[in-house]
Structure 1
Amino acid sequence: MGQIITQVDAFTDKPFAGNPAAVCVLSESQADDWMQNVAQEMNLSETAFLVKQDDGFSLRWFTPAVEVPLCGHATLASAHVLWSQGHLLPDEVARFYTKSGVLIAKRLGDWIELDFPVNHSQETIAPPQLSKALGVPCKSVLKNSLGYLVEVESEDLVRQMQPNFQLLKTLPMAEVIVTSQSKPDSEYDFVSRFFAPGLGIDEDPVTGAAHCCLAAFWRDRLGKDEFLAYQASRRGGVVKVRYPGGDRVFLSGQAVTVMRGELITNLVYYQT
């Protein structure tokens, strides 16, 4: 019997929307190159690997190309799998030990709330090629540990833009969050998209880590602590954001299981 691997659509309440992640609850730790190979095989923006600990689970995230220090949608998917497959009781809190510290997930009705570190941004001088690479004029440009945070003038610009990914890769940081305030008649407070060709992901459908940056950005501009946000990728996804200040931000989303299979663990990877 191999390891069960589950594909979950995160930050959505319907299949084939939101951001897909693969989740593998391992019976024991595996080598880094094995996990990277599985992530490459799954070819999703993130594959999450969990191993049971005394009071929680270790959690690591891999894109098809690299390991990343933080991923929101794959954490949401992991919590969903732990509850839906009986690894945790419905009223238990999910505790994850990660390279970004201890992360907590808890169920709030049909939603899952994630307790994540906030990521503050600082004003920066935009690289000369940034606007050309994005294909839109930049209203303001900041940077944080995830990449650039670019505000543009309108929701329409966010939705319609078509970046030049090869040019983005030549920038000092090849990861860019693009955001704007939503239209006045929208149910959402702000919209965004996230491009990460440097991580092997041209466009991530819905990005929890980006909302760790957007929370503080929009709190300063809109003067409020709670937001309903929409990531306007082709698949699209909804994120509830709560940031009362301090060093933690609370992101909530829904998740749907779409596929479950078995990893045959006696497969041997041969490198030529």
Structure 2
Amino acid sequence: MQISIFTVDAFTDQPFSGNPAAVCLLEDELEEGWHQKIATEMNLSETAFIRKLHPTDDFTRKNVNSTLTFVTLSGELNARQAGDHIILDLPLYPTYPQDFQEVEKLVKATVGDMNVQDVRYSPDTKKLLVCLSDAYGRSDLEKIQVNAQELLLAEKTGKVQGLIVTLKGDFHGKHESYDFYSRYFAPWVGILEDPVTGSAHTVLSSYWSQQLGKKEMCAFQCSTRGGKLKILLRPDGRVDVSGQTVIVLKGFLTI
């Protein structure tokens, strides 16, 4: 069997940046266990499998009004195209003030002695949000070096499964203008740092919308690869997170 396969860099307009994912187009059902085997072979943080719901469906037909539904470990994820952007329809998760003393070791293991102005927790996602002082800039966030073992030793309760470090944007710097910056670490689930994280922005969008009083925002995730995200808080309490994509590889997988 030959399967059409692509490597797509998401949340970027440049190859070899953003969040890389493998996408497989399935004409037929795979045998049990093959999905995981293919994902392991591709060795990327995400591997998506798209199959036809009806025999007459055409993978090559472009329809900007169509929606793809992905079944993930976090539930169904709907994606649609709008111009040169792909929009993800995501839930919006609130954050709550966190007692700093309870997470002080974890925060210091992440950002050292940097001045922290806010610490929030999202019980729905088990993510801790650490907001740095406005005195810092994007370059300060990018310089943070995190050791996975130190984070694991600082948090063993299972309460935190992902840690977001974020910072208010700078509209007067040498880079493009963004409302906020972030980095995301999750060694508790085997990921030291994720390049670009849609799920983290379900938390970040809620937090920064309150802080900035805005429903539409632009964000940048400051990983080594980097990623640009557009955010729109909707009246129904959900959030649209969108970005551009670049196909960097296409071919066939033979099994």
TM-score normalised by L of structure 1: 0.78
In structure 1, what residue type is equivalent to 2:141? V
Gaps of 5+ in 1: 58-81, 266-272
- Structure 1 segment 151-230 matched on structure 2, within 5 A: 151-153=131-133, 154-155=136-137, 156-170=139-153, 171=155, 172=158, 173-186=160-173, 187-230=177-220
In structure 2, what residue type is equivalent to 1:130? L
* Higher Cα radius of gyration: 2
Q: What is the rounded CA distance, in whole Å, between the counterparts of 2:119 and 2:28 in structure 1?
A: 43
**Residue aligning to 2:87:** 113
**Residue aligning to 1:92:** 65
Equivalent in 243, 260, 264 of residue 233 of structure 2: 243
Matched residues, percent identical?
40
For the pair 1:150 / 2:126, whether they are aligned, the reply is: no
Report the CA distance between 1:146 and its aligned residue. 4.6
In structure 1, what residue type is equivalent to 2:41? E
What is the SS of the residue equivalent to 2:231? strand
For the 8 Å contact 2:107–2:130, the answer to whether it is kept is: no
In structure 2, what residue type is equivalent to 1:103? L
What is the SS of the residue equivalent to 2:7? strand
CA gap 1:97/1:232 in 2 versus in 1, 3 angstroms: closer
CA gap 1:162/1:117 in 2 versus in 1, 3 angstroms: same
Report the CA distance between 1:98 and its aligned residue. 2.3
For the 8 Å contact 2:13–2:245, the answer to whether it is kept is: yes
In structure 2, what residue type is equivalent to 1:150? V
**Residue aligning to 1:5:** 5
- Structure 1 segment 248-263 matched on structure 2, within 5 A: 248-263=238-253
**Residue aligning to 1:140:** 118
Report the CA distance between 1:246 and its aligned residue. 4.0
CA gap 1:30/1:142 in 2 versus in 1, 3 angstroms: farther
Gaps of 5+ in 2: none
**Cα deviation per residue 1:21-50 (whole Å; 9 max; x = unaligned)?**
111122344466432232222221211222
Aligned CA-pair RMSD: 2.4
**Residue aligning to 2:224:** 234
**Cα deviation per residue 1:148-184 (whole Å; 9 max; x = unaligned)?**
1111123343221111211222313242111110124
Report the CA distance between 1:202 and its aligned residue. 1.3
Q: What is the rounded CA distance, in whole Å, between the counterparts of 1:30 and 1:209 in structure 2?
A: 28
Report how many aligned residue pairs link the two structures. Answer: 237
CA gap 1:124/1:30 in 2 versus in 1, 3 angstroms: farther
**Cα deviation per residue 1:96-142 (whole Å; 9 max; x = unaligned)?**
04244543333222222222111222222342321232033433222
For the pair 1:36 / 2:36, whether they are aligned, the reply is: yes
Q: What is the rounded CA distance, in whole Å, between the counterparts of 2:185 and 2:106 in structure 1?
A: 12
For the 8 Å contact 1:143–1:149, the answer to whether it is kept is: yes
CA gap 1:42/1:146 in 2 versus in 1, 3 angstroms: farther
Report the CA distance between 1:89 and its aligned residue. 2.3
**Cα deviation per residue 1:54-74 (whole Å; 9 max; x = unaligned)?**
59x9xxxxxxxxxxxxxxxxx
Q: What is the rounded CA distance, in whole Å, between the counterparts of 1:47 and 1:212 in structure 2?
A: 21
TM-score normalised by L of structure 2: 0.83
